[in-house]
Protein backbone atom coordinates (compact mmCIF):
# COMPACT_ATOMS: atom_id res chain seq x y z
CA UNK A 1 0.00 0.00 0.00
CA UNK A 2 2.97 2.33 -0.41
CA UNK A 3 5.05 4.33 2.03
CA UNK A 4 3.71 6.28 4.99
CA UNK A 5 3.20 9.98 4.22
CA UNK A 6 5.09 12.57 6.33
CA UNK A 7 3.95 16.13 7.24
CA UNK A 8 6.67 17.86 5.20
CA UNK A 9 5.51 16.00 2.06
CA UNK A 10 2.74 18.60 1.87
CA UNK A 11 5.32 21.40 1.72
CA UNK A 12 7.32 19.63 -0.95
CA UNK A 13 4.21 18.93 -3.03
CA UNK A 14 3.11 22.56 -2.71
CA UNK A 15 6.28 24.11 -4.14
CA UNK A 16 5.43 26.68 -6.82
CA UNK A 17 1.73 26.31 -6.08
CA UNK A 18 -0.70 28.68 -4.32
CA UNK A 19 -1.16 28.12 -0.57
CA UNK A 20 -3.02 29.68 2.33
CA UNK A 21 -1.02 30.23 5.54
CA UNK A 22 -2.72 30.66 8.90
CA UNK A 23 -0.43 32.54 11.28
CA UNK A 24 -0.30 33.55 14.92
CA UNK A 25 -1.79 36.90 15.91
CA UNK A 26 -4.76 36.22 13.64
CA UNK A 27 -2.92 36.87 10.35
CA UNK A 28 -3.68 34.93 7.17
CA UNK A 29 -1.61 35.11 3.98
CA UNK A 30 -2.05 33.74 0.48
CA UNK A 31 0.62 33.34 -2.21
CA UNK A 32 2.71 30.92 -4.26
CA UNK A 33 5.14 28.98 -2.04
CA UNK A 34 8.56 29.11 -3.71
CA UNK A 35 10.77 27.94 -0.81
CA UNK A 36 10.66 26.27 2.63
CA UNK A 37 13.14 24.85 5.16
CA UNK A 38 13.00 22.43 8.12
CA UNK A 39 11.97 25.24 10.50
CA UNK A 40 8.89 25.85 8.27
CA UNK A 41 10.31 29.23 7.26
CA UNK A 42 8.71 29.77 3.86
CA UNK A 43 8.80 32.26 0.98
CA UNK A 44 5.52 33.22 -0.65
CA UNK A 45 5.57 34.98 -4.00
CA UNK A 46 2.80 37.51 -4.66
CA UNK A 47 1.91 37.31 -0.97
CA UNK A 48 -1.29 38.97 0.17
CA UNK A 49 -2.57 39.54 3.70
CA UNK A 50 -6.18 38.37 3.87
CA UNK A 51 -8.75 39.74 6.32
CA UNK A 52 -12.34 38.49 6.23
CA UNK A 53 -11.72 36.87 2.84
CA UNK A 54 -10.58 40.17 1.32
CA UNK A 55 -7.07 41.29 0.34
CA UNK A 56 -5.93 43.83 2.91
CA UNK A 57 -2.37 44.34 1.68
CA UNK A 58 -0.23 43.10 -1.22
CA UNK A 59 3.31 42.33 -0.07
CA UNK A 60 4.94 40.69 -3.11
CA UNK A 61 7.70 38.19 -2.27
CA UNK A 62 7.62 37.56 1.49
CA UNK A 63 9.60 35.47 3.99
CA UNK A 64 7.36 34.05 6.76
CA UNK A 65 9.11 32.92 9.94
CA UNK A 66 8.29 29.27 10.68
CA UNK A 67 7.42 29.65 14.34
CA UNK A 68 4.55 31.99 13.46
CA UNK A 69 2.88 29.40 11.21
CA UNK A 70 -0.28 27.68 12.50
CA UNK A 71 -1.28 25.85 9.30
CA UNK A 72 -0.44 25.70 5.59
CA UNK A 73 -2.94 24.50 3.02
CA UNK A 74 -2.86 24.32 -0.78
CA UNK A 75 -5.23 26.95 -2.09
CA UNK A 76 -7.89 26.13 -4.65
CA UNK A 77 -8.02 29.57 -6.28
CA UNK B 1 -1.62 -7.24 31.53
CA UNK B 2 0.17 -6.13 28.36
CA UNK B 3 2.52 -3.28 27.58
CA UNK B 4 2.15 0.27 28.84
CA UNK B 5 0.46 2.57 26.33
CA UNK B 6 2.36 5.70 25.15
CA UNK B 7 0.86 9.07 24.07
CA UNK B 8 1.93 8.75 20.42
CA UNK B 9 0.06 5.43 20.15
CA UNK B 10 -3.08 7.53 19.77
CA UNK B 11 -1.59 9.27 16.71
CA UNK B 12 -0.53 5.98 15.17
CA UNK B 13 -3.95 4.43 15.79
CA UNK B 14 -5.69 7.46 14.29
CA UNK B 15 -3.92 7.36 10.92
CA UNK B 16 -6.42 7.62 8.08
CA UNK B 17 -9.24 8.22 10.54
CA UNK B 18 -11.21 11.39 11.35
CA UNK B 19 -9.86 13.48 14.26
CA UNK B 20 -10.67 16.73 16.02
CA UNK B 21 -7.70 19.03 16.74
CA UNK B 22 -7.87 21.74 19.39
CA UNK B 23 -5.34 24.46 18.62
CA UNK B 24 -3.92 27.59 20.21
CA UNK B 25 -5.63 30.90 19.50
CA UNK B 26 -9.03 29.21 19.93
CA UNK B 27 -8.97 27.37 16.58
CA UNK B 28 -10.49 23.91 16.14
CA UNK B 29 -10.08 21.74 13.04
CA UNK B 30 -11.61 18.47 11.89
CA UNK B 31 -10.32 16.13 9.18
CA UNK B 32 -8.77 12.76 8.37
CA UNK B 33 -5.23 12.50 9.79
CA UNK B 34 -3.00 11.15 7.02
CA UNK B 35 0.45 11.95 8.50
CA UNK B 36 2.24 12.96 11.73
CA UNK B 37 5.81 13.29 13.00
CA UNK B 38 7.55 13.43 16.41
CA UNK B 39 6.95 17.19 16.66
CA UNK B 40 3.17 16.52 16.37
CA UNK B 41 3.14 18.24 12.99
CA UNK B 42 0.17 16.58 11.29
CA UNK B 43 -1.58 16.57 7.93
CA UNK B 44 -5.36 16.54 7.89
CA UNK B 45 -7.17 15.68 4.69
CA UNK B 46 -10.49 17.42 4.05
CA UNK B 47 -9.67 19.78 6.90
CA UNK B 48 -12.39 22.10 8.14
CA UNK B 49 -12.15 24.96 10.60
CA UNK B 50 -14.93 24.58 13.17
CA UNK B 51 -16.46 27.48 15.10
CA UNK B 52 -19.32 26.86 17.53
CA UNK B 53 -19.81 23.34 16.11
CA UNK B 54 -20.27 24.71 12.57
CA UNK B 55 -17.92 24.55 9.61
CA UNK B 56 -16.46 28.02 9.10
CA UNK B 57 -14.04 27.23 6.30
CA UNK B 58 -13.09 24.18 4.22
CA UNK B 59 -9.31 23.98 3.71
CA UNK B 60 -8.78 20.60 2.02
CA UNK B 61 -5.39 19.00 2.77
CA UNK B 62 -3.72 20.98 5.55
CA UNK B 63 -0.41 20.86 7.45
CA UNK B 64 -0.84 21.83 11.12
CA UNK B 65 2.30 22.88 12.96
CA UNK B 66 2.82 20.72 16.07
CA UNK B 67 3.52 23.49 18.55
CA UNK B 68 0.07 24.96 17.95
CA UNK B 69 -1.71 21.71 18.92
CA UNK B 70 -3.49 21.60 22.30
CA UNK B 71 -5.25 18.25 21.90
CA UNK B 72 -6.06 15.62 19.27
CA UNK B 73 -9.02 13.29 19.59
CA UNK B 74 -10.51 10.66 17.27
CA UNK B 75 -13.79 12.02 16.01
CA UNK B 76 -16.98 10.00 16.19
CA UNK B 77 -18.60 11.53 13.12
CA UNK C 1 11.88 7.90 56.21
CA UNK C 2 11.99 6.50 52.69
CA UNK C 3 13.06 7.96 49.39
CA UNK C 4 12.39 11.48 48.19
CA UNK C 5 9.28 11.75 46.00
CA UNK C 6 9.65 13.12 42.43
CA UNK C 7 7.06 15.11 40.40
CA UNK C 8 6.52 12.38 37.79
CA UNK C 9 5.61 9.90 40.57
CA UNK C 10 2.19 11.54 40.55
CA UNK C 11 1.76 10.69 36.87
CA UNK C 12 2.84 7.12 37.40
CA UNK C 13 0.53 6.70 40.39
CA UNK C 14 -2.38 8.17 38.43
CA UNK C 15 -2.24 5.71 35.52
CA UNK C 16 -5.70 4.31 34.79
CA UNK C 17 -7.26 6.66 37.32
CA UNK C 18 -9.41 9.77 36.82
CA UNK C 19 -7.54 13.09 36.74
CA UNK C 20 -8.31 16.77 36.22
CA UNK C 21 -5.99 18.66 33.84
CA UNK C 22 -5.70 22.43 33.92
CA UNK C 23 -4.49 23.70 30.55
CA UNK C 24 -3.37 26.95 28.96
CA UNK C 25 -6.00 29.15 27.30
CA UNK C 26 -8.32 28.51 30.25
CA UNK C 27 -9.25 24.94 29.24
CA UNK C 28 -9.89 22.20 31.82
CA UNK C 29 -10.31 18.50 31.01
CA UNK C 30 -11.31 15.46 33.01
CA UNK C 31 -10.74 11.80 32.13
CA UNK C 32 -8.90 8.59 32.94
CA UNK C 33 -5.14 8.96 32.30
CA UNK C 34 -4.03 5.91 30.31
CA UNK C 35 -0.60 7.11 29.08
CA UNK C 36 2.06 9.80 29.64
CA UNK C 37 5.62 10.51 28.52
CA UNK C 38 8.54 12.66 29.74
CA UNK C 39 7.19 15.72 27.87
CA UNK C 40 3.95 15.41 29.91
CA UNK C 41 2.07 14.49 26.76
CA UNK C 42 -0.83 12.44 28.14
CA UNK C 43 -3.78 10.41 26.88
CA UNK C 44 -7.08 10.77 28.68
CA UNK C 45 -9.79 8.20 28.08
CA UNK C 46 -13.38 9.44 28.19
CA UNK C 47 -12.05 12.98 28.15
CA UNK C 48 -14.48 15.81 28.81
CA UNK C 49 -13.94 19.56 28.48
CA UNK C 50 -15.18 21.22 31.67
CA UNK C 51 -16.44 24.81 31.84
CA UNK C 52 -17.75 26.23 35.13
CA UNK C 53 -17.90 22.70 36.61
CA UNK C 54 -20.12 21.47 33.79
CA UNK C 55 -19.29 19.17 30.89
CA UNK C 56 -19.10 21.29 27.74
CA UNK C 57 -17.97 18.62 25.30
CA UNK C 58 -17.26 14.87 25.41
CA UNK C 59 -14.14 14.00 23.40
CA UNK C 60 -13.55 10.32 24.16
CA UNK C 61 -9.88 9.26 23.98
CA UNK C 62 -7.74 12.39 23.71
CA UNK C 63 -4.03 13.19 23.39
CA UNK C 64 -3.09 16.37 25.30
CA UNK C 65 0.17 18.05 24.29
CA UNK C 66 2.47 18.41 27.32
CA UNK C 67 3.43 22.03 26.84
CA UNK C 68 -0.20 23.09 27.22
CA UNK C 69 -0.52 21.48 30.67
CA UNK C 70 -0.62 23.78 33.71
CA UNK C 71 -1.47 21.19 36.36
CA UNK C 72 -2.64 17.58 36.71
CA UNK C 73 -4.50 16.35 39.76
CA UNK C 74 -6.12 13.02 40.64
CA UNK C 75 -9.85 13.54 40.60
CA UNK C 76 -12.04 12.44 43.48
CA UNK C 77 -15.15 11.78 41.43
CA UNK D 1 30.52 33.98 56.07
CA UNK D 2 29.49 30.66 54.60
CA UNK D 3 28.67 29.55 51.10
CA UNK D 4 26.70 31.50 48.52
CA UNK D 5 23.00 30.59 48.47
CA UNK D 6 21.46 29.25 45.22
CA UNK D 7 17.86 29.68 43.97
CA UNK D 8 16.98 25.98 44.28
CA UNK D 9 17.97 26.03 47.96
CA UNK D 10 14.56 27.61 48.57
CA UNK D 11 12.84 24.61 46.98
CA UNK D 12 14.91 22.18 49.00
CA UNK D 13 14.27 24.05 52.25
CA UNK D 14 10.53 24.16 51.51
CA UNK D 15 10.04 20.39 51.14
CA UNK D 16 7.08 19.22 53.18
CA UNK D 17 6.21 22.79 54.08
CA UNK D 18 3.34 25.03 52.92
CA UNK D 19 4.10 27.27 49.91
CA UNK D 20 2.29 29.76 47.71
CA UNK D 21 2.83 29.37 43.95
CA UNK D 22 2.17 32.23 41.54
CA UNK D 23 1.47 30.85 38.06
CA UNK D 24 0.96 32.13 34.54
CA UNK D 25 -2.57 32.96 33.41
CA UNK D 26 -3.20 34.64 36.78
CA UNK D 27 -3.52 31.40 38.78
CA UNK D 28 -2.32 31.11 42.39
CA UNK D 29 -2.09 27.85 44.34
CA UNK D 30 -1.35 27.00 47.95
CA UNK D 31 -0.32 23.62 49.36
CA UNK D 32 2.44 21.54 50.94
CA UNK D 33 5.34 21.03 48.50
CA UNK D 34 6.22 17.33 48.60
CA UNK D 35 8.40 17.07 45.44
CA UNK D 36 10.28 19.18 42.86
CA UNK D 37 12.73 18.62 40.01
CA UNK D 38 15.25 20.71 38.06
CA UNK D 39 12.52 21.93 35.68
CA UNK D 40 10.64 23.36 38.71
CA UNK D 41 7.89 20.80 38.19
CA UNK D 42 6.46 20.46 41.70
CA UNK D 43 3.87 18.41 43.58
CA UNK D 44 1.67 20.20 46.08
CA UNK D 45 -0.30 18.16 48.58
CA UNK D 46 -3.69 19.54 49.63
CA UNK D 47 -3.44 22.02 46.77
CA UNK D 48 -5.97 24.82 46.63
CA UNK D 49 -6.59 27.36 43.88
CA UNK D 50 -6.74 30.81 45.44
CA UNK D 51 -8.66 33.75 43.95
CA UNK D 52 -8.78 37.10 45.79
CA UNK D 53 -7.39 35.45 48.95
CA UNK D 54 -10.20 32.89 49.01
CA UNK D 55 -10.13 29.19 48.19
CA UNK D 56 -11.83 28.71 44.83
CA UNK D 57 -11.21 25.00 44.37
CA UNK D 58 -9.61 22.17 46.41
CA UNK D 59 -7.52 19.90 44.18
CA UNK D 60 -5.77 17.56 46.62
CA UNK D 61 -2.38 16.28 45.41
CA UNK D 62 -1.41 18.24 42.27
CA UNK D 63 1.48 18.24 39.81
CA UNK D 64 2.31 21.78 38.60
CA UNK D 65 4.31 22.05 35.37
CA UNK D 66 7.50 24.05 35.95
CA UNK D 67 7.23 26.36 32.97
CA UNK D 68 3.95 27.78 34.29
CA UNK D 69 5.55 28.86 37.59
CA UNK D 70 6.17 32.59 38.13
CA UNK D 71 7.20 32.47 41.80
CA UNK D 72 7.24 30.12 44.78
CA UNK D 73 7.21 31.38 48.36
CA UNK D 74 7.00 29.63 51.72
CA UNK D 75 3.60 30.37 53.17
CA UNK D 76 3.18 31.67 56.68
CA UNK D 77 -0.22 30.12 57.33
CA UNK E 1 15.70 24.18 -14.16
CA UNK E 2 18.26 25.46 -11.66
CA UNK E 3 18.67 25.03 -7.94
CA UNK E 4 15.86 25.03 -5.35
CA UNK E 5 15.41 28.39 -3.62
CA UNK E 6 15.79 28.57 0.19
CA UNK E 7 13.99 30.96 2.61
CA UNK E 8 17.16 32.83 3.61
CA UNK E 9 17.84 33.66 -0.05
CA UNK E 10 15.25 36.41 0.35
CA UNK E 11 17.29 37.96 3.18
CA UNK E 12 20.49 37.77 1.20
CA UNK E 13 18.86 39.30 -1.88
CA UNK E 14 17.36 42.10 0.23
CA UNK E 15 20.66 43.35 1.69
CA UNK E 16 20.94 47.11 1.33
CA UNK E 17 17.41 47.32 0.00
CA UNK E 18 14.20 48.62 1.60
CA UNK E 19 12.07 46.02 3.42
CA UNK E 20 8.87 45.87 5.45
CA UNK E 21 9.01 43.82 8.67
CA UNK E 22 5.86 42.50 10.34
CA UNK E 23 6.53 41.88 14.04
CA UNK E 24 4.79 40.37 17.04
CA UNK E 25 2.67 42.63 19.23
CA UNK E 26 1.24 44.25 16.09
CA UNK E 27 4.36 46.30 15.24
CA UNK E 28 5.43 47.00 11.66
CA UNK E 29 8.75 48.57 10.64
CA UNK E 30 10.18 49.80 7.37
CA UNK E 31 13.85 50.49 6.54
CA UNK E 32 16.90 49.41 4.58
CA UNK E 33 18.15 45.99 5.70
CA UNK E 34 21.91 46.26 6.19
CA UNK E 35 22.56 43.04 8.18
CA UNK E 36 21.00 39.72 9.22
CA UNK E 37 22.09 36.48 10.90
CA UNK E 38 20.80 32.88 11.11
CA UNK E 39 18.47 33.78 14.01
CA UNK E 40 16.78 36.38 11.71
CA UNK E 41 18.16 39.17 13.89
CA UNK E 42 18.35 42.08 11.44
CA UNK E 43 19.55 45.68 11.30
CA UNK E 44 17.38 48.21 9.52
CA UNK E 45 18.86 51.56 8.60
CA UNK E 46 16.50 54.57 8.66
CA UNK E 47 13.97 52.37 10.48
CA UNK E 48 10.46 53.72 10.90
CA UNK E 49 7.61 52.30 12.97
CA UNK E 50 4.50 52.23 10.78
CA UNK E 51 0.93 52.39 12.13
CA UNK E 52 -2.03 52.44 9.72
CA UNK E 53 0.32 53.14 6.79
CA UNK E 54 1.72 56.24 8.49
CA UNK E 55 5.12 56.79 10.10
CA UNK E 56 4.61 56.84 13.85
CA UNK E 57 8.24 57.10 14.93
CA UNK E 58 11.63 57.39 13.21
CA UNK E 59 14.25 55.24 14.91
CA UNK E 60 17.30 55.46 12.62
CA UNK E 61 19.55 52.38 12.69
CA UNK E 62 17.74 49.62 14.60
CA UNK E 63 18.47 46.03 15.64
CA UNK E 64 15.34 43.84 15.49
CA UNK E 65 15.44 40.60 17.48
CA UNK E 66 14.76 37.61 15.20
CA UNK E 67 12.20 35.87 17.39
CA UNK E 68 9.88 38.87 17.14
CA UNK E 69 9.77 38.74 13.34
CA UNK E 70 6.58 37.45 11.68
CA UNK E 71 7.43 38.28 8.05
CA UNK E 72 9.96 40.25 5.99
CA UNK E 73 9.14 41.55 2.54
CA UNK E 74 11.06 43.74 0.07
CA UNK E 75 9.34 47.10 -0.04
CA UNK E 76 8.35 48.72 -3.31
CA UNK E 77 8.67 52.33 -2.14
CA UNK F 1 40.20 51.72 30.77
CA UNK F 2 39.53 48.40 32.47
CA UNK F 3 37.60 45.32 31.44
CA UNK F 4 34.30 45.27 29.58
CA UNK F 5 31.30 44.93 31.88
CA UNK F 6 28.92 41.95 31.39
CA UNK F 7 25.14 41.83 32.08
CA UNK F 8 25.42 39.34 34.96
CA UNK F 9 27.82 41.70 36.77
CA UNK F 10 24.73 43.63 37.82
CA UNK F 11 23.32 40.52 39.50
CA UNK F 12 26.57 39.79 41.25
CA UNK F 13 26.92 43.40 42.46
CA UNK F 14 23.32 43.37 43.71
CA UNK F 15 23.68 40.35 46.01
CA UNK F 16 22.26 41.12 49.46
CA UNK F 17 20.99 44.48 48.25
CA UNK F 18 17.44 45.69 47.51
CA UNK F 19 16.27 45.32 43.91
CA UNK F 20 13.13 45.94 41.85
CA UNK F 21 12.11 43.13 39.48
CA UNK F 22 9.80 43.77 36.52
CA UNK F 23 8.07 40.53 35.54
CA UNK F 24 5.82 39.24 32.79
CA UNK F 25 2.05 39.49 33.26
CA UNK F 26 2.49 43.01 34.65
CA UNK F 27 3.88 41.91 38.04
CA UNK F 28 6.54 43.94 39.89
CA UNK F 29 8.38 42.75 43.01
CA UNK F 30 10.76 44.39 45.44
CA UNK F 31 13.09 42.68 47.90
CA UNK F 32 16.69 41.89 48.85
CA UNK F 33 18.31 39.60 46.24
CA UNK F 34 20.04 36.79 48.14
CA UNK F 35 20.67 34.33 45.28
CA UNK F 36 20.70 34.02 41.47
CA UNK F 37 21.76 31.48 38.85
CA UNK F 38 22.61 31.51 35.13
CA UNK F 39 18.91 31.14 34.20
CA UNK F 40 18.19 34.40 36.12
CA UNK F 41 16.23 32.42 38.68
CA UNK F 42 16.55 34.61 41.78
CA UNK F 43 15.60 34.57 45.45
CA UNK F 44 14.29 37.77 46.98
CA UNK F 45 14.15 38.08 50.75
CA UNK F 46 11.29 40.15 52.20
CA UNK F 47 9.68 40.11 48.76
CA UNK F 48 6.72 42.38 48.17
CA UNK F 49 4.39 42.54 45.18
CA UNK F 50 4.05 46.17 44.11
CA UNK F 51 1.02 47.59 42.30
CA UNK F 52 0.85 51.31 41.46
CA UNK F 53 3.82 52.01 43.78
CA UNK F 54 2.02 50.41 46.74
CA UNK F 55 2.66 47.10 48.46
CA UNK F 56 -0.12 44.72 47.48
CA UNK F 57 1.16 41.57 49.17
CA UNK F 58 4.11 40.63 51.39
CA UNK F 59 5.56 37.25 50.41
CA UNK F 60 8.71 36.91 52.51
CA UNK F 61 11.46 34.81 50.92
CA UNK F 62 10.50 34.12 47.29
CA UNK F 63 11.96 32.22 44.34
CA UNK F 64 11.30 33.99 41.02
CA UNK F 65 11.61 31.89 37.88
CA UNK F 66 14.13 33.44 35.47
CA UNK F 67 12.06 33.24 32.33
CA UNK F 68 9.41 35.51 33.85
CA UNK F 69 11.93 38.32 34.50
CA UNK F 70 11.76 41.40 32.25
CA UNK F 71 14.24 43.60 34.13
CA UNK F 72 16.12 43.79 37.43
CA UNK F 73 17.30 47.07 38.90
CA UNK F 74 18.98 47.98 42.19
CA UNK F 75 16.44 49.85 44.27
CA UNK F 76 17.26 53.17 45.87
CA UNK F 77 14.92 52.79 48.85
CA UNK G 1 33.66 47.27 -0.50
CA UNK G 2 34.56 45.97 2.95
CA UNK G 3 33.15 43.27 5.17
CA UNK G 4 29.48 42.38 5.58
CA UNK G 5 27.91 43.95 8.68
CA UNK G 6 26.39 41.64 11.35
CA UNK G 7 23.42 42.41 13.67
CA UNK G 8 25.50 42.40 16.87
CA UNK G 9 27.77 45.09 15.40
CA UNK G 10 25.04 47.54 16.36
CA UNK G 11 25.30 46.46 20.00
CA UNK G 12 29.06 46.73 19.98
CA UNK G 13 28.97 50.18 18.37
CA UNK G 14 26.36 51.35 20.89
CA UNK G 15 28.39 50.57 24.02
CA UNK G 16 28.43 53.55 26.38
CA UNK G 17 25.97 55.41 24.18
CA UNK G 18 22.27 56.18 24.68
CA UNK G 19 19.81 53.67 23.21
CA UNK G 20 16.06 53.11 23.04
CA UNK G 21 14.86 49.55 23.78
CA UNK G 22 11.44 48.33 22.64
CA UNK G 23 10.32 45.45 24.85
CA UNK G 24 7.51 42.90 25.00
CA UNK G 25 4.38 43.80 26.95
CA UNK G 26 4.46 47.29 25.45
CA UNK G 27 7.39 48.55 27.57
CA UNK G 28 9.98 51.00 26.22
CA UNK G 29 13.20 51.97 28.02
CA UNK G 30 15.88 54.54 27.38
CA UNK G 31 19.40 54.65 28.85
CA UNK G 32 23.12 54.29 28.21
CA UNK G 33 24.01 50.72 27.21
CA UNK G 34 27.03 49.68 29.28
CA UNK G 35 26.98 45.89 28.69
CA UNK G 36 25.47 43.16 26.49
CA UNK G 37 25.92 39.42 25.91
CA UNK G 38 25.07 36.92 23.15
CA UNK G 39 21.56 36.41 24.57
CA UNK G 40 20.92 40.18 24.11
CA UNK G 41 20.79 40.59 27.88
CA UNK G 42 21.83 44.22 28.31
CA UNK G 43 22.57 46.70 31.09
CA UNK G 44 21.29 50.24 30.71
CA UNK G 45 22.68 52.95 32.96
CA UNK G 46 20.29 55.75 33.96
CA UNK G 47 17.44 53.61 32.60
CA UNK G 48 14.03 55.24 32.28
CA UNK G 49 10.70 53.64 31.44
CA UNK G 50 9.05 55.69 28.69
CA UNK G 51 5.28 55.87 28.16
CA UNK G 52 3.84 58.12 25.41
CA UNK G 53 7.23 59.87 25.02
CA UNK G 54 7.31 60.78 28.71
CA UNK G 55 9.45 59.37 31.52
CA UNK G 56 7.20 57.23 33.70
CA UNK G 57 9.81 55.86 36.07
CA UNK G 58 13.57 56.30 36.62
CA UNK G 59 15.25 52.97 37.38
CA UNK G 60 18.98 53.78 37.38
CA UNK G 61 21.22 50.88 36.35
CA UNK G 62 19.02 48.08 34.98
CA UNK G 63 19.53 44.58 33.60
CA UNK G 64 17.09 43.81 30.75
CA UNK G 65 16.56 40.13 29.91
CA UNK G 66 17.36 39.48 26.24
CA UNK G 67 14.26 37.47 25.39
CA UNK G 68 12.04 40.45 26.23
CA UNK G 69 13.80 42.70 23.71
CA UNK G 70 11.94 43.55 20.49
CA UNK G 71 14.34 46.18 19.10
CA UNK G 72 17.33 48.29 20.16
CA UNK G 73 18.14 51.59 18.50
CA UNK G 74 20.78 54.26 19.20
CA UNK G 75 19.00 57.29 20.58
CA UNK G 76 19.58 60.74 19.17
CA UNK G 77 18.92 62.67 22.38
Which phi-psi region, left, alpha or beta, contains residue E76 (left: φ > 0; alpha: ψ -120 to 50)? alpha
In chain G, which residue's Cα lies nearest the Cα of F70?
Answer: G65
Residue D2 has pLDDT above 70, yes or no: no
Q: Alpha-carbon distance F57 to F29, whole Å?
A: 10
pLDDT band at E4 (very low <50, low <70, confident <90, very high): confident
B65 and C CB contact within 8 Å: no
Chains F and D touch (3+ CB pairs under 8 A): yes
D10 and F CB contact within 8 Å: yes
Q: What percent of chain B lies above the pLDDT cut of 90?
A: 81
Q: % helix / strand / coil in chain A, to the nearest 5?
A: 15, 55, 25
**Any residues with CB less than 8 A from the CB of G49 and at least 6 apart, and which?**
G27, G28, G29, G55, G56, G57, G59
Nearest to G11, CA basis, from G31, G47, G36: G36
Q: Alpha-carbon distance E74 to E21, whole Å?
A: 9
Q: What is the pLDDT of residue G2?
A: 59
Q: What is the pLDDT of residue F73?
A: 97
Residue F28 has pLDDT above 70, yes or no: yes
List chains touching E (3+ CB pairs under 8 A): A, G
Q: Which CATH architecture has domain B18-67?
A: Roll (2.30)
- Which of D7, D72, D74 shows the shortest C-beta gap to F36? D7
Strand duo C69-74 + D17-23: pairing: unpaired
Q: What is the pLDDT of residues E30-64, one digit of tens each?
A: 999 999 999 999 999 999 999 888 999 999 999 99
Identify all chain B residues contacting A74, using CB atoms and an 8 Å cutoff.
Answer: 60-61
Indicate the domain borders of chain C.
7-74
Options 2.30.30.100, 1.10.3720.10, 1.10.287.3510, 3.90.1150.10; CATH of G15-74: 2.30.30.100
Q: What is the pLDDT of residue G67?
A: 96
Identify the residue with better confidence: C29 or C53: C29
**Any residues with CB less than 8 A from the CB of E66 and at least 6 apart, and which?**
A65, E37, E39, E40, E41, E42
pLDDT band at D77 (very low <50, low <70, confident <90, very high): low
CA distances from residue A10 to A30, A41, G38 in whole angstroms, order as listed: 16, 14, 36
A8 and B CB contact within 8 Å: yes
Residue F34 has pLDDT above 50, yes or no: yes
Q: What average pLDDT does range G50-61 have in this prediction? A: 91
Identify the residue with better confidence: A68 or D77: A68
Instruction: Give which of C16, C40, C65 to mutate to test B binding, by max B Cβ within 10 Å.
Output: C65
Q: Alpha-carbon distance F7 to G37, whole Å?
A: 7
F15 and G CB contact within 8 Å: no
D76 and F CB contact within 8 Å: yes
Nearest to F51, CA basis, from F26, F71, F72: F26
Residue A39 has pLDDT above 60, yes or no: yes
Nearest to D61, CA basis, from C20, C66, C62, C28: C20
Mean pLDDT of chain A: 93
Q: Alpha-carbon distance F70 to F23, whole Å?
A: 5
Q: What average pLDDT does range B48-75 have in this prediction? A: 94
Q: Do B65 and A71 touch (CB under 8 A)?
A: yes
Identify the residue with better confidence: F9 or B53: F9
Q: What average pLDDT does range G23-32 have in this prediction? A: 92
Min Cα distance G60 → chain E (Å) is 23
Question: What separation, in Å, do the N-terminal and C-terminal C-alpha atoms of chain A show?
Answer: 31
Q: What is the DSSP letter of B76?
A: -
Q: What is the pLDDT of residue E66?
A: 98
- Return the ∠ at Cα G62 (arms to G60 and G66), rounded to 5°: 155
**Any residues with CB less than 8 A from the CB of G5 and at least 6 apart, and which?**
E34, E35, E43
Q: What is the pLDDT of residue A12?
A: 96
Q: What is the DSSP letter of A68?
A: G
Q: Alpha-carbon distance G4 to E49, whole Å?
A: 25
Nearest to E22, CA basis, from B67, A47, G14, G42: A47
Residue C76 has pLDDT above 80, yes or no: no
Identify all chain G residues contacting F23, using CB atoms and an 8 Å cutoff.
Answer: none
Q: What percent of chain F lies above the pLDDT cut of 70?
A: 95
Q: What is the pLDDT of residues F39-72, one digit of tens each?
A: 999 999 999 999 888 999 999 999 999 999 999 9
Q: What is the pLDDT of residue D1?
A: 47
Instruction: Give which of B70, B72, B75 to mutate to test C binding, by max C Cβ within 10 Å.
Output: B70
Q: What is the pLDDT of residue F51?
A: 85
G46 and F CB contact within 8 Å: no
Q: What average pLDDT does range B34-39 have in this prediction? A: 97
**Any residues with CB less than 8 A from the CB of G38 and at least 6 apart, and which?**
G8
pLDDT band at G77 (very low <50, low <70, confident <90, very high): low
Looking at the domain that runs over F7-74, which CATH code has it been given? 2.30.30.100
Q: What average pLDDT does range C11-17 have in this prediction? A: 97
Q: Do A63 and E74 touch (CB under 8 A)?
A: no
Chains B and C touch (3+ CB pairs under 8 A): yes
Q: Alpha-carbon distance C61 to A47, whole Å?
A: 39
Q: Do D59 and C73 touch (CB under 8 A)?
A: yes
Q: What is the pLDDT of residues D6-46, one digit of tens each?
A: 999 999 999 999 999 999 988 999 999 999 999 999 999 99
Identify the residue with better confidence: E20 or G2: E20
Q: What is the pLDDT of residue F1?
A: 47
Identify the residue with better confidence: E67 or E51: E67
Amino acid sequence: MGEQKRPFDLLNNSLNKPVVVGMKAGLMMRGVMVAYDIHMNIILDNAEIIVNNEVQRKLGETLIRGDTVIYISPSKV
